[in-house]
Homo-oligomer: A and B are copies of this chain.
């Protein structure tokens, strides 16, 4: 098999130090929820991001139009619409056609590692769409934050 296998050595993995990225507020949805964007794929609408929320914070109800894979690094959190509570070390697999409201436990700040596919619609109390989040809006929010603070613009689009 050695001779017919392609030699898949062309592409290098991309390494992103957590310290190379800045926490920035998830405006306009909350001042208590912050993001750290690792990568965004504009053609596919995919984003890799850390989310940090203050103890007791909420992130308004939102509709998913793709998958979200979330790993709990610290703190406890839940969705107002469901019974379980996610603790550090837990994994939550969300899919399109789901809708929920994130609630951080009051005891401790939370940090999640999240892989997002597709857009997310944020809703007001009457079910009206007040914002559509995509890989592009995630990237633009962070790049705007970097410009505002005089930070060098990171490369969010490695592939």
Partner-B contacts on A (CB < 8 A)? 1-2, 4-19, 38-39, 42-45, 48, 63-69, 71, 73, 79, 82, 84, 86-100, 113, 115, 117-119, 121, 126-132, 134-137, 140, 158-159
Find chain B residues with CB under 8 A from A127 CB.
2
Besides the known contacts A10-B97, A45-B96, 6 further A-B residue pairs in the complex with CB atoms under 8 A apart:
A5-B132, A11-B42, A44-B95, A65-B65, A65-B132, A117-B118
Find chain B residues with CB under 8 A from A1 CB.
1, 128-130, 132
Q: How many copies of this kind of chain does the complex include?
A: 4
A-B contacts, 10 of them at CB < 8 A, read: A1-B128, A5-B132, A6-B137, A9-B97, A9-B98, A16-B91, A43-B67, A65-B134, A113-B113, A129-B129
